[in-house]
């Protein structure tokens, strides 16, 4: 929408920027962390935090909630997300420059995750 408004005003096109992604460090009541085993490249067969790309018109918190649900079947409470950090190393993703907004959340009850979308498996990992 902003791009459309800028174009109508004759302002140059929207600049190319890094892709915005989100990651979630989710813990269960026993303080185990939720990880997915990636099904697809990049990093197929490696463990990762649930997360993914933010859609146009979507808040980062909503994207984080959606990605956790799509990849693990678990529902999170967006109001309980706490910012962990923002990670922007241009070389962190071989597909291109991404900026990740990472959140943490503690789930109230133990729930078994199930893999979905691009996850081979989803599981709670104890330290």
DSSP 14-67: PPP-PEEEEEEEEE-TT-PEEEEEE-SSSSTTSEE-SEEEPPTT--HHHHHHHH
pLDDT above 90 (res 69): yes
pLDDT, mean of residues 26-45: 96
- Across all residues in the chain, what is the average pLDDT? 91
pLDDT above 80 (res 10): no
Q: β-strand 98-106 against 19-27: which pairing, if any?
A: parallel
Q: How confident is the model at residue 5 (pLDDT cuts 50, 70, 90)?
A: low
Nearest CA among 105, 104, 114, 95 for reference residue 53: 95
The whole-model pTM stands at 0.86
Q: How confident is the model at residue 126 (pLDDT cuts 50, 70, 90)?
A: very high
Architecture of domain 16-125: Alpha-Beta Complex (3.90)
pLDDT, mean of residues 74-84: 96
Instruction: Say what the pLDDT of residue 3 is.
Output: 54
pLDDT, mean of residues 100-104: 98
Range in 3-7, 8-12, 28-32, 86-90 with the lowest mean pLDDT: 3-7
């Amino acid at each position: 929408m902003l791009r459309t408004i800028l174009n109508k005003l004759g302002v140059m096109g929207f600049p190319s920027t890094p892709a915005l992604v989100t990651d979630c460090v989710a813990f269960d009541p026993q303080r185990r962390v939720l990880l997915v085993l990636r099904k697809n490249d990049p990093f197929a067969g490696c463990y990762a935090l649930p997360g993914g790309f933010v859609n146009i018109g979507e808040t980062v918190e909503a994207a984080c909630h959606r990605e956790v649900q799509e990849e693990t079947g678990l529902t999170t409470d967006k109001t309980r997300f706490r910012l962990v950090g923002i990670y922007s190393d241009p070389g962190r993703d071989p597909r291109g420059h991404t900026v990740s907004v990472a959140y943490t959340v503690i789930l109230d009850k133990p729930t078994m995750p199930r893999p979905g979308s691009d996850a081979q498996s989803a599981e709670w990992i104890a330290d």
